[in-house]
């Protein structure tokens, strides 16, 4: 097994790629005049970031790229609780650096307004793309993160086909975005939410609590649900 430092480095780069790729698609390409990729394109971009980095560095760190996934894997018996803090720090730092790079690129366009664009930040109420309520946002993030962790635990089980876990995991994240971009701009990842929120400030930081609490709660629920239906020998303890 790689050292903790190397594994945290992999988590940093993996989360950097996720935020740069997914949020970058949302900020730079989603509504580009005449050729915008739209919600479906952004959803695919997020899925591809996880798919590509899981193959690139998953063998080093496990390919979490998400504090909720790390906590969910602890709850699922797949990851040691003592390593949660360094993994989460690496993930959040990767997200912040990616958001900084994205902000620098976006500011290269004449007239770009960081706050006015909302910079792919997650939100509810007035700041939800579809004006969905806080309760709707909370429910969406909890349920979809639970489903995401359920897929991750199943795809990485010892009984699942070896070497293919990144594919269903990336497709699951794509599906999650297809469902929930109109509701919250889709988080299911506290690090992904933190990076853009720090640059938007104001309302994005005020609402950031939900995008930590809901995904982590959902991850724990999903892990418990998976353990209830799985056979003990499936776990990678």
Q: What is the pLDDT of residues 36-64, one digit of tens each?
A: 899 999 999 999 999 999 999 999 999 99
Task: Look at residue 237 in the predicted model and tell me its pLDDT.
Answer: 38
Whether 95 maps to a domain, the answer reads yes
What pLDDT score does 222 carry?
98
Tell me the pTM. Answer: 0.94
User: In terms of Cα–Cα distance, which of 75, 236, 43 is closest to 150?
Assistant: 75
Instruction: Kindly state whether residue 10 falls inside one of the protein's structural domains.
Output: yes
CATH number at residue 89: 1.20.1080.10
* Cα–Cα distance for residue pair 218/141, rounded to 1 Å: 7
Please report the pLDDT score of residue 32 as a whole number: 73
Residue 236 lies in a domain: no
Q: How many domains, in total, are found in the chain?
A: 1
User: Within a domain: residue 237?
Assistant: no
Domain that holds residue 63: 4-229
Report yes or no on 235 lying in a domain.
no
Helices 190-200/4-24 angle, 10° precision: 60
Rounded average pLDDT per 10-residue block, the chain, 237 residues: 93 98 94 81 97 97 97 97 98 98 94 84 97 98 98 93 93 98 98 97 97 98 96 52
Cα separation, 7 vs 59, in Å, equals: 9
Is 127 inside a domain boundary?
yes
pLDDT, residue 33, reads 67
CA 168/CA 182 separation, integer angstroms: 23
Which of 217, 211, 220, 235 is CA-nearest to residue 154? 235
Other C-beta atoms lying within 10 Å of the C-beta of residue 206: 12
In a domain, 234, yes or no: no
């Amino acid at each position: 097994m790689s050292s903790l430092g190397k594994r945290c480095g992999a988590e940093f780069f993996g989360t950097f790629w996720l935020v740069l790729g997914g949020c970058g698609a949302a900020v730079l390409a989603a509504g580009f005049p005449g050729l915008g990729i739209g919600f479906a394109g952004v959803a695919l971009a997020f899925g591809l970031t996880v798919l590509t980095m899981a193959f690139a560095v998953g063998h080093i760190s496990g390919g979490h790229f998400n504090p909720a996934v790390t906590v969910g894997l602890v709850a699922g018996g797949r990851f040691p609780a003592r390593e949660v803090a360094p993994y989460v720090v690496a993930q959040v730092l990767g997200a912040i650096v990616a958001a900084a790079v994205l902000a620098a690129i976006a500011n290269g366009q004449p007239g770009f307004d960081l706050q006015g664009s909302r910079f792919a930040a997650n939100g509810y109420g007035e700041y939800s793309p579809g004006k969905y309520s806080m309760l709707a946002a909370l429910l969406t993030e909890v349920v979809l993160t639970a489903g995401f962790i359920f897929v991750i635990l199943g795809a990485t089980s010892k009984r699942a086909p070896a070497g293919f876990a990144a594919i269903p995991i990336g497709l699951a994240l794509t599906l999650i975005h297809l469902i929930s971009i109109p509701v919250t701009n889709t988080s299911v990842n506290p690090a992904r939410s933190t990076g853009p929120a720090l640059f938007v400030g104001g309302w994005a930081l005020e609402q950031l609590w939900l995008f930590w609490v809901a995904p982590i709660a959902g991850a724990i629920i999903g892990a418990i649900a998976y353990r209830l239906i799985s056979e003990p020998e499936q776990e990678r303890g």
